[in-house]
Structure 1
Amino acid sequence: MTVPTITLNDGHEIPQLGFGVFKVDPAETERIVSSALEAGYRHIDTAAIYGNEEGVGRAIAASGIAREELFITTKLWNSEQGTDAPRPAIETSLQKLGLDYVDLYLIHWPRPDRDLYVETFQQLEKFAAEGLTRSIGVSNFHQPQLEKLLAETGTVPAVNQIELHPAFAQTALREFQEPRGIHTEAWGPLGQGKYDLFGEKAVADAAKAHGATPAQVVIRWHLQKGIIVFPKSSTAERIAENFDVFGFELTSDEIAAIDSLDRGQRVGADPEADFF
């Protein structure tokens, strides 16, 4: 089963379907990521604040999979923004992951109240030039912060990783960033179980029509819309099930029906109001 790839604005390719480890217990991370790698995932998304980079690193080391076959993302936490803190932060992440470089390094949150994200991104530009990361991007940025980065730095972020699911489709932000070469990654792609997404008629009907699970239908919706997506699960069966989404294709009517579920319903933190 071959996962489609997307070519980023810097020429590097990213697998469109990956595996996320947000809120994965550090003690369980090696087992869970190993299950994901065994299922076929080659794109793993973690972050310093998750506290599980070491477990990801152990799973990578134990897998025997060649480094060039993997795509590993991690993120810079808010307290490490500025001019001096990002370098020790990425070096620590690399040490924990057991890697010489990551494929993608992101500013985790913009923290517009501190207004350090431009100088922080300029440090990420240096890391890319030095080979500590292949690509650089951002997470949870709104249009004003993206506009400022584009105006004041020399690099267009490769991605913006944002909360995105059928009830919160982020259409306006996507319409701004994607024509400018910033690809969209979805966190919380299944709504984090905070509303009855799988009970929605549009999702349930598509699942029945294709002999698929509701989760598979929603993941497929993301993929067909060109979004980079990484669902998470702690069980090997569900991990494999979420990867098995390439044997069917949603119709245009099914896509439109799921699109109609958008009601601006954020279920996670608001980057403009919730600061960490």
Structure 2
Amino acid sequence: MAGVFCLGIATLDYVYSVEHLPTRGEKYRARDLALSGGGCAGTASAAIARLGGTSWIATRLGDDVTGDRIVADLAADGVDTRFAHRFTGLRSPVSSILVDAAGERQVVSFTDAATPTAPDWLPAQLPAGTGAVLADIRWAEGTLAALRLAREAGLPSVLDGDRPPPHPDIIPNTSHVALSAQALRELMGDDNPHEALARLAAGKPNWFAVTLGRDGVLFTENGVLAHLPSFEIEPVDTLGAGDVWHGAFALALAEGKTEREAIRFASATAAIKCLHFGGRNGTPRRDEVERFLSERG
């Protein structure tokens, strides 16, 4: 099995289904509630394991019951949690998410401000069997350490850029930079993703992409911009779709797929996830993705 070493945030998510997202300071009633593991790296690592890959997660947690639940949920999905570091006296990350009838979400998250930033407890080398590294941007020092391990090992590294990278050395140390539309807009100060991505990629050796939701994925290929459309679905819950996409994309690279193949595989995985309420709980298994792709040619 191909393996992906994931580094970043893992959370416990309380996901509420509502008819409309709140706009006023008053009481609202939820139609449904799901308790789910979340976070960029947490969701990606679980997706990789569900898709049949090997995944390890390096994440910072407190020594509280929330951290116990986060680790237990990841382990239940088959994620190797040996690098989930528990800090004494800290509170683990948690989020409250509202998902409306159209599948859009509103997120309020908490991370303990006292969480240490030093990456000195991370492994000196990647676990045997690692074929790629995936990192988010919630912990700059850890992200840089993981990306450099990938570079030293000659392995592909994927950046889950749902926000602009917080350190100037992150992009230069990443082989595959996949940004959200919002992150690209904030990073380049340009509302046009084609122009913004072209300017960002100009003169750089990295592979770049921006995920555009319903509008598919825009990416660099042989020095020019290319595009692959999304799969047409009626979303129920988009929470975690981007994280699932990055996990599936990194696994595909670890398996030796091309970037085009990896995008298609990742987009199918994320599309299926969006058909189910409950954030990460809707992440599909490998056979579901292969069946989905087969049905769509």
* TM-score (normalised: structure 1): 0.38
* TM-score (normalised: structure 2): 0.36
Q: Which has a greater percent of strand?
A: 2
